[in-house]
Amino acid sequence: MKVGMIQCVIISAVLAILGYLIFASANINSNLPLTVSLSLLVSGIITPILASLISSRERTTNQQSDVSSADVSTLYVGNLPYRANEDAVKAFFSDFIAVQSVRLMKDRKTGKRKGYGFIEVVTDDVDSAIDQLNDTTFQERTLKVRPAKDKNDNN
């Protein structure tokens, strides 16, 4: 049993006891089965929420440790559809490679997307990722994937 699960079981038991005490002190027609049912209902609603919060925190911690053990590279992606958003691009690229973040460029005045962006990927072999992704079709457009240049590069 993981630590998060033990915490969840303890919290659930405490909530069941608290729920019982609260409903019992309300003296709902001195109906014990109803009081127990309501207290279990309270703990049954809160426990899954706590379990999902604890497990998502553990997943986030595990993903962060995985990212630090691998190299993070930034790729330039051109010829993106103007209607594409960050979530759609991330979902598409995630089929090929571990994506850490997506940044699509927008025009400052109009707020419309410019058709290119940058994707941070977790990989030890950038060239292989580029070979895999360059010239793939996404939303009826052929993508151009290259290593991103540093802002300081004037080449």
pLDDT tens digits for range 65-90: 555 556 888 999 999 999 999 999 99
Contacts of 111 (CB under 8 A, 6+ apart): none
What pLDDT is attached to residue 17?
73
What pLDDT is attached to residue 149?
85
Q: Which residue has the tokens 């703990």?
A: 43
The token duo for 124 is 């030890």
**Extents of the domains making up the chain:** 3-67, 72-147
Write the pLDDT tens digit of every residue in 95-154. Answer: 888 899 999 999 999 989 999 999 999 887 888 889 989 999 999 999 999 998 877 655
The answer to whether the pTM exceeds 0.75 is no
pLDDT at 26 over 70: no
Q: Quick one: 24 exposed, middle or buried, by C-beta within 10 A (0-12, 13-18, 19+)?
A: middle
CATH number of 72-147: 3.30.70.330
The token duo for 84 is 């594409």
Per DSSP, helices labelled H in the chain are 3-25, 32-69, 86-94, 126-133
